[in-house]
Structure 1
Amino acid sequence: MKLDATDQRILRELRNDGRVSNAKLAERVGLSATPCWNRVRALEEAGVIEGYAALLNQKALGLPDTVIIEVKLAKHDERTLDRFGEALADLPEVVEAFLVSGEYDYLIKVAVAGTEGYESFLRRKLYRLPGFQDSRSMFALRCLKRSVSVEP
């Protein structure tokens, strides 16, 4: 799907406020309500808009700390990668996970409650995943940028 300037304005507005009403969105991007609604639906159907979500505050939920963990697997066969990836995706502490190139196989971002929460996550969950071999971790000191998607 080729995006024009109006589509990009719609996407920027929705990226900033996914709960904006169609009437307000149309006003902001310079369209009437029906054409705006049609464009949003077309963007959804084309897969440009994958969905809508609420951003939750980790600290308010009792998980104030973010840890970035690099994980190395014991083997790299298809079955090991699939099993590890599926098990990793099921862990509620995992906010993001990437299969990556380089010395380590996965880069994961987890939300925990301090060093005790981190130790518990490691010992009770991460270390028990199928194929796990080694990890290296870094506590995030401060978040400098947080975005849920790229800007169009």
Structure 2
Amino acid sequence: MKMDHRDHILLKHLQADSRISNADLADEAGMSPSACWRRVKALEEAGIIDRYGAVVNPTAAGLTFQAIVHVQLARHSEDELNAFIQAVSTRREVVECYATTGQSDYQMRVLCRDLDAYNAFLETFLFRLSAVASVQTNVVLREIKRNTGIGF
């Protein structure tokens, strides 16, 4: 799907407030409500809009420990990789995980209640995965920028 200026307007407003009414969204984009609804449906069907959700403040939700975790694997067989990915995908502490180039194979953003909870995550989960060779933790001291949307 080739996007135009109106699509960018729709996405900008939906990213800012996914609960915006179709009528208000149509007004913002200078469209009729029915044309707006069709355009949003087309964006959803094309996979450009992946899903809708709420943005939760981790600290307010009691998750005061945040870290960027760099994981290096010892083994890269298909079975080991699949087991690692499956295991990480099931953990609520891991809010983001990326396969990356460079010294580490994976970068994860991990949220926990506190340092003790993070230590338990390491000892009872991450260190027990057979493919994991090493883990380096960078503790997040303060958030500089957090944006869930992409710019248009």
State the partner residue of 2:137.
137
2:2 is paired with a residue whose SS is coil
Residues 1-150 of structure 1 mapped to structure 2, 5 A cutoff: 1-150=1-150
Q: Residues 46-84 of structure 1: CA distance to partner in whole angstroms, max 9, x if unpaired?
A: 111011011122112221121000001111111111110
One-letter code aligned to 1:111: L
Shift of 1:145: 1.2
Asked whether the 8 Å contact 1:88–1:129 carries over to 2, the reply is no
TM-score computed with the length of structure 1 as normaliser = 0.95
User: Which contiguous aligned blocks of 4+ residues in structure 1 show a shift greater than 4 angstroms?
Assistant: none
Letter matched to residue 88 of structure 2: L
Q: Percent identity over the alignment?
A: 39
Deviation at 1:149, TM superposition (A): 3.1
Deviates more, 1:45-54 or 1:126-135: 126-135
CA deviation after TM superposition for structure 1 residue 91, in Å: 0.5
Deviation at 1:130, TM superposition (A): 3.4
SS class of match (2:145): coil
**Partner of 1:42: helix, strand, or coil?**
helix
Q: Which runs of 5+ in 2 are unaligned?
A: none
Q: For 1:113 and 1:103, how far apart are their aligned partners in 2? A: 28
The runs of 5 or more residues in structure 1 that have no matched partner are none
